[in-house]
Amino acid sequence: YRCYNLLGIVLGDLKEFDKSLAYYNEALFYLEKTPNSTIEKASVSNNIGVNYRHLKLYDKAIHNFENVLKINNLHIRHPSLFAKAISNLATSKLYAQDTLNVENLFKKSIEIKKEENELASLSSSYFNYAEYKAYAKDTINAIEKLKKSENLARESSSNEQLLKTWQYLAILDKNNASDYFKKFTKLNDSLLSEERKQQNKFARIRFETDEFIAENIELESEKQVLSKQKQIWIGIATGFFLLGLSVYIIINQRAKNQKLRFDQQQQANNQEIFNLMLMQKQKVDEVKRLEQKRISEELHDGVLGKMLGARMILTGLNKRATDEAIQEKSKALGSLQEIENEIRAISHELSHSAYQKISNFTDSVETLLANNRNTKIKTIFHFNEDENWDSLAGEIKINVYRIIQETFQNAIKHSKCSFFEVTFYRDDEQFNVIMSDNGIGYNVIKGKKGIGIRNITSRIEKLNGSFHIDSTEGQGTTISLNIPI
């Protein structure tokens, strides 16, 4: 931005205003990409306005200066730029013959520049103020302002401003016109002489630069020839390298293909052996399952039935016996009941061990509910037949089955219900089970947590799941299981 702005200033001083504007626009382009550059943009806009004024495009110049003055708190953030913009706006309006409020603008600009001690800029403002006074036919004040401009130009060593001021004084102050003209001529000749020296110096620099450029062109030509030769050798070397690489890749790919075919054949053989072993294992597991199921049925239907009958007989005798006999029979009944519970536990473990191998989970649940011997209770089982429930992990199926069994037995014994309902459904990555009855219900808060609830809690914790009991006295009970899968 700074380089383009400086080029714009230099070309403006050389009166090449169009090129100067192009460089100022480049400066603005880079400032648009620069954060917190409001003041810099305002400075460039002020410079563009000055160029428009030199090109006599006063409307554009005024528009630029007014945009600069619209920046928030510019008079605080950058008083010097604010004063320049005011002075330039007043001058442009004067040149456009719009003198409304122009004098106030000049006065305000001069006041700020005095505070900022901007001598060269203050000299320029007094000069433009003198132009306004001359336009207003106030020659005396105009000469006064020009003399102030002359003194300030001397103090700030502004030769260009001195020339402009003497030239204008020679026009306005007729009595001293010859003196001003002499001063003008002397300073102008001195500056022209100095400019010629500088031009000669630059001419020597240009000549030496041209020689250096010619040498560089010759060296660049030689360099291009060497570069082409280098490129040819690099191309030849690259060709040989690519040829060798291609041969290596072809040979290596053939070796990989042979190894891949061998691995595939070996994998197929291993898969065949694995399938044979799996079939054998399935046959053994099926035999074990059938045997476990048979033992379970024998224990449940045979031994438990007999023991239950004996317990019932003893219960009947217990009502007619003496106190001592009743006590002894009660002990016997307790022992029988312990044996019964122990055999039932064994039976259930064997039954579930067999169940773990059963492929159809929903059929097992339906069988559990259908084996209800209490014909007064209607059982209902809801599930989506399109869902693959057998894909659930074995541990989930076993524990859910046991929880349903436990809940169902509790409903039969305690709830006095007329129907018992089980629902399966999946929700995203979660298996949900809802068990409900229309029994007498109970107070969940006050009710005791028996073995059944503790067992449900233990099994759900194993599955990293959760459960909820919703029950109200006289309105039945609902138990919901939520198990991640």
Structural domain boundaries in the chain: 2-211, 359-485
pLDDT score of 205:
66
The CATH code of the domain at 359-485 is 3.30.565.10
pLDDT score of 431:
95
Q: What is the pLDDT along the chain (485 residues), one digit of tens a residue?
A: 888 999 999 888 888 999 999 999 999 999 988 888 899 999 999 999 999 999 999 999 999 999 999 999 999 999 999 999 999 999 999 999 999 999 999 999 999 999 999 899 999 999 999 999 999 999 999 999 999 999 999 999 889 899 999 999 999 998 899 999 999 999 888 888 777 777 666 567 666 767 777 788 888 888 888 888 999 999 999 999 999 999 999 999 999 998 898 888 888 877 877 777 778 778 877 877 777 766 765 565 556 555 665 666 666 666 666 676 677 677 667 667 766 666 766 666 555 554 454 458 898 899 888 877 666 889 999 999 989 898 888 889 989 999 999 899 888 888 889 999 999 999 888 999 999 999 999 888 876 667 778 888 999 999 999 999 999 888 999 999 999 98
- Residue 91's CB: how many other CB atoms inside 10 A? 28
pLDDT score of 287:
76
pTM, to two decimals: 0.42
The CATH code of the domain at 2-211 is 1.25.40.10
Evaluate whether 2-211 and 359-485 have a shared fold. no
Residue 157: phi, psi to the nearest 5? 55, 40
